[in-house]
Amino acid sequence: MDKAAVLTHILRSKVRSTCLGGDSPVSVISSKKYIPALTAEAQDHESMSSVDHAIRGALSDGTRLVVLVGPEGSGKTTALQKLLVDWAKGEHLHNFSFVFHFQFKEMDSLEGQLSLETLIQYSRHQVHSVLRVVERPDDALFVFDGLDEYSHSLDPAGRALCSDASQAASAPLLLVSLLHGSLLKGAAFLVATRPTGNLKFLSGARVEALGFLKPQREAFFNSFFADSSVASRALLHMERTLGFYDFCTSPRFCWTVCFVYRSLIDSNAKLPETLSQLFVEILSHLIQSTSLTQDWNRKLVLALGRMASYCFLDKHSRCTKEQINSFGFQQFLTAFAPFLRVEAELETVSFRSQLMQEFVLALAFFLDGSEYEDVEKVLDKHKGAAKFLDLFLSGLSEPEQHRPLETLVGELDPDQMKGFRSWLKSGSEETLKGYDKNKHYRCFRLLHQVQNASLVKEIVPPLAHACIYHRNPGLQDCVALSYVIVCLGERDRLSVSGATVIKEMMEVLAPALSLSHVVELSDNSFQTEAVPRLASAVSSGVTRELNLTRSHLGDEKLKRLCAGLKDSKLHRLNLGSCRLTAACCDDLLSLLTSEISQLQALEITFNQIGDRGFKKLCKAMHSPLCRLQELQMQTCDLTAASMEDFAAALCSGHSQLRKINLTHNTVGDSGVKALCNALKHPFCKLQSLTLYDCGLTGACCSHLKEALMSEHFSLLELDLSLNDLGQEGALMLCQGLSRPGCPIRSLSLTRCELTQTVFKELGSLLRSGSCQMMFLLVGLNKVGDEGVRPLWDAVSHPSCSLEELNVEMTRLTDACVEDLCAAVRGSRTLKRLELRNNSLTDAAVPAVIQAMRDNPNMEELNLKYNDFSEDVFEMLEECDNIRY
């Protein structure tokens, strides 16, 4: 086909446009308003790769088959026609001398045996071009549009493919031979399609058409509306209020929205809140354009509903004239033209939009219940084909939404409405009792479509879902989720994880965040522009706790967050594993010393804060404005170098710090010495100190002993686990603990290389009458039955106040069972006993169970990972407070 013929064929073609189809490709190209659709890869690259560029690049590189895949209305056909026009004008694809353009739906109707020459003749191409192409196939490009409308398979298996251009064969065989390189080997092919099963038979380069991202949508809306402020308002509303972000990428959907919005804005009417409301407006416009009476409008919609159902159930995209007459269209002549696309040459009719196809089916269901089964059967029959039918049914079930249509098509069937509402209520209640998050998403979307706050409160009792948890939501999920929460009102907790949080997502979630006392946003990735909106939502609402663990914020995003949180009511902020460095601590310092900051707990675990960063945080504790009471700094690259600054902060007289966790930091013995000097100071208010795995030895215990002996010592909890204290160090610690009035209530010495002598001293301490210890953890010290025996004796002593004892993995055997049971029976205070990972056997079980039954105060005995056989599991099962 020569270049002049291409321009004539494309630019002079006439396609009737409706608000369902937007401007025709010809109109868009001729008016120079063409905006290139983007590829799916453009989401992840700043290059914003367009479909045009990707196709041209692949063909210029010598790729012989390029497949353009995209959903309905994503701009595939317009992109192909723009590509052909550019080639005809000599602007692109200079390596091709011949271009042939086909529609698969036209190929579908060809019958009988024909040669390649005849095939091309049927498609209005010139025969002399074919003869030249046979000689020079490398110069030819074949463009096929609409593979999804093709009813034949492209599978070459089991077929004798053609290789001779003059050979007569069926049209399907000719197409398979062309696309698989048997016929005209060396020619290039470009195939456009919606997702379809035939794709698996096509190899080559694949270009996925995404449609419009935000920059393209902005350009489109600005070209549609003369007033830029109106364009901005319309775009903002479409993206944030309708909540169907996936559709926003479709150029056709953007055109339809603009068409409807312009009419509503011009008449000062309210813009739609849901997809259902949008299609109520579209259908009202289309029906009014037919100028029929109400009775005939009703019959038209019922006919459209029959056709829609038939096409979904039988997987037909097009119907013949005979078929549409069976649906009742013979009464309307051309009245259905706004809804249906008529292919005169093929004598077939198809829906202009699958969304409208689903919407008219939903409306027909409510118009006449005699033609349809109950809602559950209808949805089940159309499952997989009609993806949004339940959403449209939900929207149309609400009188406020369907009322505009009733003036055009008459009243909806009250029994159908009642049946659907009953299904929605019972189905939603059942779904929300379970834990399938995908079903929860769908339930919330249905409720969002209804737009009835009373119904939401009826279906989702606040007490039943005090915490709503969602993982990996899309924007449309967030819209529905936020709507439901706003309807329910203030709540305890909201958790969203596993998402890439963009600005638009945070804006629609903001009302829900503001109503939640605890907001958990762990394991998310935040777009920079989303962070200030998050801070604003938290600051404007009732949120007291914000968890951003593993959100990989980094210092720059944290700076924005801190700036927005200075006026918040936050009491707790969790920034664990957020890729922070010492640079962030200036911002945290500013936040902590803000005049109205109420932050009391800060967690910045697993970040590279280092001594330099920690010293900045210590400065905050010198300020009378700092209300910090708890600081979690596990694995923050701290050393003894910053402990002097920390000790000075604790002694400043302004520090409110009560709890610090320094787990997995190389504090060392010298660091503990500095801390112990602070613990002896009258201004130090610290009550909990965790030094788990901090590189300590027995040398630090002399300093701890001195601190423990001090009258100003205020610690209630001390954790020294996973440090090599040894016998000498631990015995010094025991001396300090023996001071009358020592406030320690919880002591953790897990895997500290303790000996039987130390256990004996601990037992003596617990029996002394002066010890107030309630929690003792000494697991992973391999002292055996004899080593632990002093603790059993102490537990049953009337002076012992121990409530929890952990002797996990201390090499206990059945030899300890008599002492163990005597301790359990005799204790007045013990509630929990940890015996995991020891060597108790089946023989110990009866006695242990009886001892547990004899002491009603015992809440839990953990016997997991001992040497039990399955023979005793049933016996252990009978005791509710034994874990095994």
Judgement on whether residues 330 and 411 belong to the same structural domain of the protein:
yes
**CB of 337 closer than 8 Å to CB of 327:** no
The answer to the question of residue 589 being in a domain is no
284-334 confidence digits (pLDDT tens): 999 998 889 999 999 999 999 999 999 998 877 788 888 888 888 877 767
**pLDDT band at 9, cuts 50/70/90?**
low
**Where does residue 812 rank: exposed (0-12), middle (13-18), buried (19+ CB within 10 A)?**
buried
Query: By mean pLDDT, which of 9-23, 238-252, 269-283, 505-519 is the weakest?
Result: 9-23
In this predicted structure, the answer to whether residue 169 has a pLDDT above a threshold of 80 is: yes
pLDDT score at 44: 53
The answer to the question of residue 413 being in a domain is yes
Average pLDDT over residues 150-165: 90
**pLDDT band at 342, cuts 50/70/90?**
confident
- State the Cα–Cα distance between residues 482 and 480, nearest whole angstrom: 5
Judgement on whether residues 415 and 346 belong to the same structural domain of the protein:
yes
- The secondary structure element, H or E, covering residue 170 is strand 169-170
Domain range spanning residue 259? 222-271
Average pLDDT over residues 748-763: 97
**pLDDT band at 35, cuts 50/70/90?**
confident
The answer to the question of residue 443 being in a domain is no
Where among 381, 416, 433 does a domain terminate?
Answer: 433
The answer to the question of residue 180 being in a domain is yes
Can you tell me whether residue 208 is helix, strand or coil?
A: strand
CA distances (Å), origin 313, targets 199, 374, 380, 528, 663: 22, 16, 11, 46, 62
In this predicted structure, the answer to whether residue 47 has a pLDDT above a threshold of 60 is: no
Judgement on whether residues 104 and 233 belong to the same structural domain of the protein:
no
pLDDT score at 242: 72
Judgement on whether residues 267 and 295 belong to the same structural domain of the protein:
no
The answer to the question of residue 874 being in a domain is yes
Q: Pick from 449, 358, 445: which is nearest to 401 by CA?
A: 449
Judgement on whether residues 383 and 238 belong to the same structural domain of the protein:
no
Q: Which residues is 455 bridged to in the sheet?
A: none
The answer to the question of residue 720 being in a domain is no
Where among 540, 575, 593 does a domain terminate?
Answer: 540
In this predicted structure, the answer to whether residue 126 has a pLDDT above a threshold of 60 is: no
**pLDDT band at 468, cuts 50/70/90?**
low
Judgement on whether residues 483 and 512 belong to the same structural domain of the protein:
yes
Can you tell me whether residue 854 is helix, strand or coil?
A: helix
pLDDT score at 471: 80
**pLDDT band at 817, cuts 50/70/90?**
very high
**CB of 830 closer than 8 Å to CB of 795:** yes
**Where does residue 721 rank: exposed (0-12), middle (13-18), buried (19+ CB within 10 A)?**
buried
Judgement on whether residues 111 and 157 belong to the same structural domain of the protein:
yes
Judgement on whether residues 93 and 197 belong to the same structural domain of the protein:
yes
Distance of CA 26 to the CA centre of its chain: 39
**CB of 498 closer than 8 Å to CB of 471:** yes
**pLDDT band at 344, cuts 50/70/90?**
low
Residue environment code for 595-621, b if the CB has 16+ CB neighbours within 10 A, otherwise e = eebebbbbbbbbbebbbebbbbbbbbb
Q: Which residues is 805 bridged to in the sheet?
A: 776, 833
User: Mean of the per-residue pLDDT values for the chain?
Assistant: 90
DSSP for 46-86? Answer: TT--BHHHHHHHHHHTT-SEEEEE--TTSSHHHHHHHHHHH
CA distances (Å), origin 151, targets 155, 180, 411: 12, 18, 39
Judgement on whether residues 75 and 201 belong to the same structural domain of the protein:
yes
The answer to the question of residue 104 being in a domain is yes
In this predicted structure, the answer to whether residue 810 has a pLDDT above a threshold of 90 is: yes
**CB of 825 closer than 8 Å to CB of 847:** no
The answer to the question of residue 849 being in a domain is yes
Query: What pTM does this model have?
Result: 0.79
Top pLDDT among 728 and 61 is at 728
Judgement on whether residues 230 and 244 belong to the same structural domain of the protein:
yes
Average pLDDT over residues 570-596: 96
Where among 517, 540, 563 does a domain terminate?
Answer: 540
Q: In the chain, what are the helix, strand and coil shares in percent, each to the nearest 5?
A: 50, 15, 40
pLDDT score at 352: 85
Top pLDDT among 395 and 44 is at 395
756-807 confidence digits (pLDDT tens): 999 999 999 999 988 999 999 999 999 999 999 999 999 999 999 999 999 9
222-278 confidence digits (pLDDT tens): 999 999 999 999 998 887 777 666 677 888 888 889 999 999 999 999 999 899 999
Domain count, the chain: 5
Average pLDDT over residues 534-543: 96
Judgement on whether residues 264 and 184 belong to the same structural domain of the protein:
no
435-452 confidence digits (pLDDT tens): 788 888 899 999 999 999
Top pLDDT among 696 and 81 is at 696
The residue type found at 234 is: A
The residue type found at 144 is: F
Select, from the ranges 15-29, 236-250, 413-427, 473-487, the one with the highest average predicted confidence (pLDDT).
413-427
Strands (E), 472-612: 491-497, 500-501, 516-520, 525-526, 545-547, 572-574, 601-603
Judgement on whether residues 198 and 332 belong to the same structural domain of the protein:
no
| CATH number, domain containing residue 133 | 3.40.50.300
In this predicted structure, the answer to whether residue 682 has a pLDDT above a threshold of 90 is: yes
- State the Cα–Cα distance between residues 629 and 659, nearest whole angstrom: 6
**CB of 101 closer than 8 Å to CB of 84:** yes
Residue 254: count of CB within 10 angstroms of its CB: 26
